[in-house]
Amino acid sequence: MKAFVMQEVGETGFTEKEPPEAGPTDAVIRPTKGLVCTSDVHTVHGAIGERENLTLGHEVVGVVEEVGDQVAKFEPGDRVAVGAITPDWGSAAAQDDHPSQSNEALGGWKYANVKDGTFADYAHVNEADANMAHIPDGVSDEEAVYVTDMMSTGFMGAENAEIPVGGTVAVFAQGPVGLMATKGAALQGAGHIIAVETVQNRQELARTYGADDVVDFAEGDPVEQIMDLTDGEGVDAAVEALGTSGTFEQCVEVTKAGGTISNTGYHGEGEYVNIPREAWGVGMAEKDIVTGLCPGGRLRLQRLLRLLDRDRVDPTHMTTHEFPFDEIDEAFRLMETKEDDIIKPLIHFE
Amino acid sequence: MKAFVMQEVGETGFTEKEPPEAGPTDAVIRPTKGLVCTSDVHTVHGAIGERENLTLGHEVVGVVEEVGDQVAKFEPGDRVAVGAITPDWGSAAAQDDHPSQSNEALGGWKYANVKDGTFADYAHVNEADANMAHIPDGVSDEEAVYVTDMMSTGFMGAENAEIPVGGTVAVFAQGPVGLMATKGAALQGAGHIIAVETVQNRQELARTYGADDVVDFAEGDPVEQIMDLTDGEGVDAAVEALGTSGTFEQCVEVTKAGGTISNTGYHGEGEYVNIPREAWGVGMAEKDIVTGLCPGGRLRLQRLLRLLDRDRVDPTHMTTHEFPFDEIDEAFRLMETKEDDIIKPLIHFE
Amino acid sequence: MKAFVMQEVGETGFTEKEPPEAGPTDAVIRPTKGLVCTSDVHTVHGAIGERENLTLGHEVVGVVEEVGDQVAKFEPGDRVAVGAITPDWGSAAAQDDHPSQSNEALGGWKYANVKDGTFADYAHVNEADANMAHIPDGVSDEEAVYVTDMMSTGFMGAENAEIPVGGTVAVFAQGPVGLMATKGAALQGAGHIIAVETVQNRQELARTYGADDVVDFAEGDPVEQIMDLTDGEGVDAAVEALGTSGTFEQCVEVTKAGGTISNTGYHGEGEYVNIPREAWGVGMAEKDIVTGLCPGGRLRLQRLLRLLDRDRVDPTHMTTHEFPFDEIDEAFRLMETKEDDIIKPLIHFE
Amino acid sequence: MKAFVMQEVGETGFTEKEPPEAGPTDAVIRPTKGLVCTSDVHTVHGAIGERENLTLGHEVVGVVEEVGDQVAKFEPGDRVAVGAITPDWGSAAAQDDHPSQSNEALGGWKYANVKDGTFADYAHVNEADANMAHIPDGVSDEEAVYVTDMMSTGFMGAENAEIPVGGTVAVFAQGPVGLMATKGAALQGAGHIIAVETVQNRQELARTYGADDVVDFAEGDPVEQIMDLTDGEGVDAAVEALGTSGTFEQCVEVTKAGGTISNTGYHGEGEYVNIPREAWGVGMAEKDIVTGLCPGGRLRLQRLLRLLDRDRVDPTHMTTHEFPFDEIDEAFRLMETKEDDIIKPLIHFE
């Protein structure tokens, strides 16, 4: 089969591979639509270390090709969404309500990390009954592919923020995860949503997804702007959706005592992420710092698909570009340069 | 009346002051026993800025001298414990279940901060019905004085850590707050309690209060020792009870993915407290960081006094020294030098 | 001043009373708009026992007339909303995060229960700083009066239900509290909202407020209908908004194992409310039963007012009738008979 | 192999069966020690309906005989404890943090319900990596067998009760689950534990496990006695450990507004379990009712075994009788009659 791989750090390309096989509890699917994630680009650049001919990709929907003999809920031909994170549900961490941390930190993240990813003619799904969901008839593949990562991760950012009904929240950075955190805040009943972003089409989408105010950090210190917008009080919660120590620090600064900082960003650089000591109330201001990795699992996928099925959210506004699988390298190139105001490129496998 | 004050940064001494008066919801008490807190020493050295003739002290029990006309639950002559933290219970933060952050970060901390403290012949109590508790007959003043701060703060460290029954926890530093966090962990049903400390009498007390293992950081990297003691898994929760970025970093390192870091330490120095990026799972390992300031309030005090009344804990092991009020300057001196293996000096007012 | 009172069980009418006075932490307000609540009608009929010349009413907005000398946040002339429930914020229950249960069960419910209510030329507000909120300029009195009880209680029903994002919920009865629970479920990100109601204008409003399906119990067993709508799974959560054992039982039956039953209804009759034993999983199916009394407090009111200010919800669809204060007896009559499809009657005081 | 079965409702006896085989993720164990549970007796009497030659028993420790080829953590010869409840960890309920409700209400309860139990020469374990735990060297089989159900269920009763540190709790009935709920309350830091029981050896054990007071319902209304012991306030939490509507009602009555009723009892009779309407605050007193089925899983078992390994609890006080497997019918007879002050009979398989 054809697979789009990271040959080594810095090198990508197509290669031929043996198709995967399904163990007793697994499935093999044939992807129909996929999305390229910024983390794929980071991976190519060595963020998780050296890899050899590792198939890239982890956001995908498709059709079931084969199931193991212990799989009960799916059969070949089923149209399914597969979680970007595919936990080991019997692991201690999953039993402790942290399935994304199966067996080790971030252990639920397998695709394009510890096993081949989904940018290929076929992809393997571990614990298929637990890690896939049927796509409802009323939901297109183009929509459904967003539940696998962007909606699950972004909404998690808002859920972890524990925003009270009518509360205030600031979401730092309006890439696709940040946009979905903004939408997630709206879905949690936030009363005042402040998005931080400087790119114009992202600012506009932020408003589409529920932001009441958009703070442009190119026009002044975002902390000051947010304090002004909240009458000096700060926000009940801040969501970090970029992955830099600088934005993280700003999150701590704008959050009121007793509030929550919810981190969704992948922090790829530096020895430390810094907590500003005084803004943190010298360690006693009850500003909790919460993090998470994209929740996976059939139940999560079903719930997110239900939101699509009932038109609670339209993630396809984020699909700024489309490519056939053959041209996926161009999608990677654009995701790296962020040229042409790209947000998410949709990959068509057929 | 006589008051022991911070005349200016670096200077302490006795002075004469007008006794406080009780507003309609307030009380005035006559202290009988008090404890000197390390934070009093920090205050003298300028940790919270300049102050002029500010009465020191915030850990006290005493007898009610006067109550305002709206006070319903107390009358002169009652034997009471007063919270070190005396929140404004109608404030937005208190309504949001963060009373210690009344009106502003750390706003419940009034004694020896924004108003005169308790090392005086008389002390003022705001919202007396809500911020004092009667001491049961079976509890001595010498015991009761520990509920006002050390037990409340230390136990909070364990409660915030969300230790599962049978779970594992490491408590960094075994000063009085750390010792009470160790005891708190035992009271939460922890299955393996690891204390980190190098001073011998504190190590011994840690075992008295429930530590299964004591890690001496003078004998090697405490992170390595804790990983060894937990078969490489790390702990479900770590409590920081010192207030340095170094110990905080170690807390993040020894906590397993999905676990909790509970900070009780006052971080008095540096621009930042550092989160080690990789050990933090690049911001996605679901290691929550939780902080708190000593919980106050009548209900809290009553619950802690109940534990004393039923002999669930004996905090008086920490009373290594005793002084009459007249000699409180010597108690301050020892708390600064930590000479003579001092843990807590008890002050007798009568 | 003029007051609309319950003279005795079964008798209402206007009377003259002395205006209230403000103690040191209190306020007196002059009502401008009010709403009649079904519970007022129950009270008249003896639900809470005998009362003599008790002023009725607890849903009100108005203008501050007088404040006590300890009141810091309000002054005469301020336009304010007052919580229907006015807790004692220093009470043990409030310190335990249950302010509505101040001092005793339901102890935060003072108006038209243990003190005069708000259907009068003037009304008294205890702990004014904590129990009132300023109405933003962009919010009319006609809207704001809904935050005092209907929005706070109904939204609480949805919040207590702990509906997961994308989860399923059934709301039993679409009176004003049920309608706001339906809206509350939408604000919590529910993926499938099923309203149970038989009156047509309430069915329509349920859809306006976010119901995906409306089950008419006059057309068949609502339990069966809900099981059909959820493919036999039942719902993640059910909200009881009527106050009968029958609907409560249905809530238990339609909730899946591991789900939540959130009660908002006032259960006025019978010795018991019944839990159906088998549907409850013989006491082991992890179907939690949660109850609540309208959350009060300045913070809560501010957050709800923020939702109005940003047009997240329009409660005025429920205002089916309007009366001058002089004709309030007609509003009471209609609320009793439920004639003319009444939902909420708005009272104009000026 | 030899198995002790329920031949039909009311009939028990030994029979010969084919030994179980391990599927790819399963194990087969050879029991060494077991305990008879009152629920086994209920099952024999038809509580869960008719069964034919169903092997009884669900509390067991033993030695691994065989593992499937997907099992990674165990191998033949390992000494293990097996959860009485063996969830399907990939099920929607498990993903929703309710593993004991796998696939359907109580769906994690498989032994002696939907598959053969553990009173046999060999027993089958589904999802072995997730549902067994190694027994530490320092823990005997006689102790370890208590983690499989009694400790897990009883402690759950205390955990679900959300007892605050220093809070008050009443535990109704001191059978083995109630005794472990009493111990669990002590492990949660309760400040006042009241046990309700009339049998003398159970009263004594209740004190051994941490009860401060024992209320004998044969000597007067337990509700009145508990109200007296709590100065009329009631308790923060009540645990039901009997399974009758009467004790459940008493739990609601003694719990203060804002408190929690935690049900562990199996309610085997009647159409309804009754909530007393007035004591429940007419559905608005914020008295939550929480239920649960014994938590299973390797992590849970490990944590409980850790408590045994460090001598935090000695469950063997409850072992009042011992029998070889051959004489298990006598153990069943005594558990039915409760003769001879039996609490738990230990079964020796070797």
pLDDT digits (tens, 9 = 90+) for B274-326: 999 999 999 999 999 999 999 999 999 999 999 999 999 999 999 999 999 99
In Å, how far are B1, B13, B31, B34, B55 from B121, measured between CA atoms? 6, 14, 7, 12, 11
What the block records as the tokens of D133 is: 């735990």
Confidence of residue C47 (pLDDT cuts 50, 70, 90): confident
Render pLDDT for C2-30 as a digit per residue (tens, 0 to 9). 999 999 999 999 999 999 999 999 999 99
Q: Which chains have at least 3 CB atom pairs separated by less than 8 Å from chain B?
A: A, C, D
Distant-in-sequence, close-in-space partners of A242: CB < 8 Å, separation ≥ 6: A172, A173, A175, A178, A265
User: Are the C-beta atoms of residues B118 and B134 closer than 8 Å to each other?
Assistant: no
Distance CA(A272)–CA(A258), nearest Å, equals 24
What the block records as the tokens of C220 is: 């068949």
Cβ <8 Å between B285 and A101? yes
Average pLDDT over residues B25-38: 97
Beta bridge partners of B27: B67, B125
Q: Give A257 to chain B, closest Cα distance, Å.
A: 5
* Closest in B23, B91, B299 to C92, CB measured: B299
Q: If you measure CA to CA, which chain B residue comes closest to A267? A: B282
Of C198, C204, C166, nearest in space to C185 by CA: C166
Q: If you measure CA to CA, which chain D residue comes closest to B186? A: D187
In Å, how far are A187, A249, B119 from A244, measured between CA atoms? 26, 9, 46
| Chain C contact set for B89 (CB, 8 A) | 89-90, 94-95, 130
| Chain C contact set for B99 (CB, 8 A) | 95
Cβ <8 Å between D288 and C289? yes
N-terminal to C-terminal alpha carbon distance within chain C: 14
Render pLDDT for A298-336 as a digit per residue (tens, 0 to 9). 999 999 999 999 999 999 999 999 999 999 999 999 999
Q: Is A107 helix (H, G, I), strand (E, B) or coil?
A: coil
Touching check for D106 and chain C: CB below 8 Å? yes
Cβ <8 Å between B95 and C92? no
HSE, CB side, 13 Å, CA atoms: give it for residue D96: 28
**Is the pLDDT confidence value at A350 over 90?**
no
Touching check for B103 and chain C: CB below 8 Å? no
- Residue D55's pLDDT is what? 98
Distance CA(A60)–CA(A30), nearest Å, equals 10
What the block records as the tokens of D95 is: 């993903």
DSSP state of B62: E
Cβ <8 Å between B276 and A271? yes
Number of neighbours of residue B11 by Cβ within 10 angstroms: 10
Number of neighbours of residue A75 by Cβ within 10 angstroms: 11
Q: To 10 degrees, what angle do helices C150-160 and C176-187 make?
A: 50
**Is the pLDDT confidence value at A280 over 90?**
yes
With vertex at residue C29, the alpha carbon angle to CA C28 and CA C31, rounded to the nearest 5 degrees, is 150
What percentage of residues in chain B have a pLDDT greater than 70?
Answer: 100
Touching check for B49 and chain A: CB below 8 Å? no
N-terminal to C-terminal alpha carbon distance within chain B: 14
Render pLDDT for C162-179 as a digit per residue (tens, 0 to 9). 999 999 999 999 999 999
Cβ <8 Å between A275 and B272? yes
User: Are the C-beta atoms of residues D95 and D101 closer than 8 Å to each other?
Assistant: no
Distance CA(B10)–CA(B8), nearest Å, equals 6
Touching check for C305 and chain B: CB below 8 Å? no
Average pLDDT over residues B236-240: 98
Q: How many residues does chain D have?
A: 350
What the block records as the tokens of C223 is: 């339990």
Place of tokens 């300028």: B46
Distant-in-sequence, close-in-space partners of B160: CB < 8 Å, separation ≥ 6: B260, B262, B290, B291, B292
| Chain C contact set for A188 (CB, 8 A) | 165, 187-189
Distance CA(B314)–CA(B335), nearest Å, equals 21
Distant-in-sequence, close-in-space partners of C147: CB < 8 Å, separation ≥ 6: C81, C301, C304, C305, C308
* Helices (H), ranges, C255-311: 298-309
Distant-in-sequence, close-in-space partners of C195: CB < 8 Å, separation ≥ 6: C170, C171, C174, C178, C182, C203, C206, C207, C211, C213, C214, C215
Place of tokens 């099952």: D43
With vertex at residue A327, the alpha carbon angle to CA A321 and CA A329, rounded to the nearest 5 degrees, is 90
Number of neighbours of residue D207 by Cβ within 10 angstroms: 15
What the block records as the tokens of A49 is: 């270390």
Q: Is D162 helix (H, G, I), strand (E, B) or coil?
A: coil
* Closest in A96, A127, A302 to D299, CB measured: A96
- Residue C71's pLDDT is what? 98
Q: Give D168 to chain C, closest Cα distance, Å.
A: 13
Touching check for B98 and chain C: CB below 8 Å? no
Domains belonging to chain A, first-starting first, are: 2-149+294-348 (3.90.180.10), 154-291 (3.40.50.720)
Phi, psi of D151 (to 5 degrees): -70, -40
Cβ <8 Å between A286 and B275? no
- The torsion region of residue B125 among left (phi > 0), alpha (psi -120 to 50) and beta comes to beta
Which of A26, A67, A69, A95 best tests the D interface by mutation, with the highest count of D CBs <10 A?
A: A95
Touching check for A90 and chain D: CB below 8 Å? yes
With vertex at residue A56, the alpha carbon angle to CA A52 and CA A57, rounded to the nearest 5 degrees, is 160
**Is the pLDDT confidence value at B350 over 90?**
no
Cβ <8 Å between D189 and B192? no
Q: Give D29 to chain A, closest Cα distance, Å.
A: 19
Exposed e or buried b for every residue in D178-205, given b needs 16+ CB within 10 A? Answer: bbbbbbbbbbbbbbbbbbbbebeebbeb
| Chain B contact set for C22 (CB, 8 A) | none
Which of A159, A282, A290 best tests the B interface by mutation, with the highest count of B CBs <10 A?
A: A282
Touching check for A143 and chain C: CB below 8 Å? no
* Cβ-based contacts under 8 A for chains A and C: 68
What the block records as the tokens of C36 is: 């009649």
* Closest in A184, A212, A307 to C191, CB measured: A307
* Residue numbers in chain D where pLDDT is lower than 50: none
Touching check for B306 and chain D: CB below 8 Å? yes
Q: To 10 degrees, what angle do helices C222-229 and C245-254 make?
A: 20
| Chain C contact set for B299 (CB, 8 A) | 92, 95-96
Distant-in-sequence, close-in-space partners of B253: CB < 8 Å, separation ≥ 6: B223, B234, B276, B279
Cβ <8 Å between D189 and B188? yes
Cβ <8 Å between C189 and A192? no
Touching check for D165 and chain B: CB below 8 Å? yes
What the block records as the tokens of D210 is: 């941490």
- Residue A47's pLDDT is what? 87
Q: If you measure CA to CA, which chain C residue comes closest to B86? A: C90
DSSP string over A5-22: EEEETTEEEEEE-PPP--
Render pLDDT for D68-98 as a digit per residue (tens, 0 to 9). 999 999 999 999 999 999 999 999 999 999 9
Touching check for B136 and chain D: CB below 8 Å? no
Distance CA(A340)–CA(A347), nearest Å, equals 17
- Residue D47's pLDDT is what? 87
Confidence of residue C350 (pLDDT cuts 50, 70, 90): confident
User: Are the C-beta atoms of residues C179 and C318 closer than 8 Å to each other?
Assistant: yes
What the block records as the tokens of B223 is: 């992170």
Cβ <8 Å between C240 and D283? yes
User: A344-348 and A319-324 as β-strands: parallel, antiparallel, unpaired?
Assistant: parallel
User: Are the C-beta atoms of residues A165 and C187 closer than 8 Å to each other?
Assistant: yes
Cβ <8 Å between A92 and D298? yes
Q: Which chains have at least 3 CB atom pairs separated by less than 8 Å from chain C?
A: A, B, D
* Closest in B70, B90, B97 to C129, CB measured: B90
DSSP state of A183: H
Render pLDDT for B195-210 as a digit per residue (tens, 0 to 9). 999 999 999 999 999 9
Confidence of residue A240 (pLDDT cuts 50, 70, 90): very high
- Residue D163's pLDDT is what? 98
* Cβ-based contacts under 8 A for chains B and D: 68
Distance CA(D37)–CA(D58), nearest Å, equals 8
Phi, psi of B238 (to 5 degrees): -130, 140
